[in-house]
Amino acid sequence: MPKGLLQTAYERLQPRPSAPPLYRPRASTLQLEQWVLKPDWVLDGTPQVRGKILTSASDGRTQSGVWECVGPTRFRYIFDVDESVFVTDGHAVVEADGTRLELGPGDAAYFPAGLSSVWTVPERVRKNFTVSAVSRPRMLLRRLRMALTLVALAFAAPAGLDDLDDVDFDDAQLKLVGA
């Protein structure tokens, strides 16, 4: 039975993934493209950054790919989207909110949107990544939860806590990210 006009139009309007359902790029033949860090983020060295987006969700909100940086270098990076990484080669040290994280082959890490970090790459690091854009309503909900948490902390401060200078708000935010 031939397809009707409405069925054909419906199928054409459906979102399509950027890669076939079973997509397996070969790391040995993968051609990375030159990427650039914001010049004012570079603290030391001249980073050579390359990467390639391998897949993108049909709505464009989630992407995955490969990223590589050759140093030695040190740079700031502010995550504008949630990012999960898996290091496949080399090493990097990531510092954020007073925490130092050493990453090497086989290590995985998660960085929430809005996190400000400093990366040190002694020689080279290569990672697979998946980024997920936070929807505006979700971001507003996170901010509202943070504000409510701050209000609750202000009114329910334990004895001996005279002000909020002793509260680690970044830690509170990280706990709320997955909520």
pLDDT in tens, 16-69: 555 556 667 776 678 999 999 999 999 999 999 999 998 888 777 889 999 999
Domain holding 144, by residue range, is: 136-177
For the whole model, what pTM was predicted?
0.64
Domain count of the fold of the chain: 2
Tokens of 111: 């960085």
- 93 in any annotated domain: yes
Average pLDDT score over residue span 142-152 = 72
Residue 140 has pLDDT above 70, yes or no: no
What is the residue-averaged pLDDT of the chain?
A: 79
Question: Is residue 101 assigned to a domain?
Answer: yes
- Residue 167 confidence class, pLDDT cut points 50, 70, 90: very low
Question: In terms of domains, do 21 and 109 share one?
Answer: yes
| Whether 97 and 142 share a structural domain | no
Residues 150 and 122 in one domain: no
Residue 152: burial class (beta carbons within 10 Å; 0-12, 13-18, 19+): exposed
Range picked from 94-98, 165-169, 175-179 for highest mean pLDDT: 94-98
The answer to whether the beta carbons of residues 130 and 150 sit under 8 Å apart is no
Same domain, residue pair 152 and 97 = no
Alpha-carbon gap, residue 70 to 49, rounded angstroms? 7
Residue 92's pLDDT is: 98
CA angle 54, 59, 60 (to 5 degrees): 40
Q: Give me the pLDDT at residue 175, please.
A: 39
- Is the residue at 140 inside a domain? yes
For 130, left (φ over 0), alpha (ψ -120 to 50), or beta? beta
List of residues 6+ apart from 5 with CB closer than 8 A:
none
Note whether residue 6 is domain-resident.
Answer: no
Share of residues in the chain with pLDDT > 70 (%): 65
Q: How far is CA 114 from the centre of its chain?
A: 9
Provide the pLDDT for residue 128. 95
Give me the pLDDT at residue 117, please.
Answer: 97
pLDDT of residue 25: 72
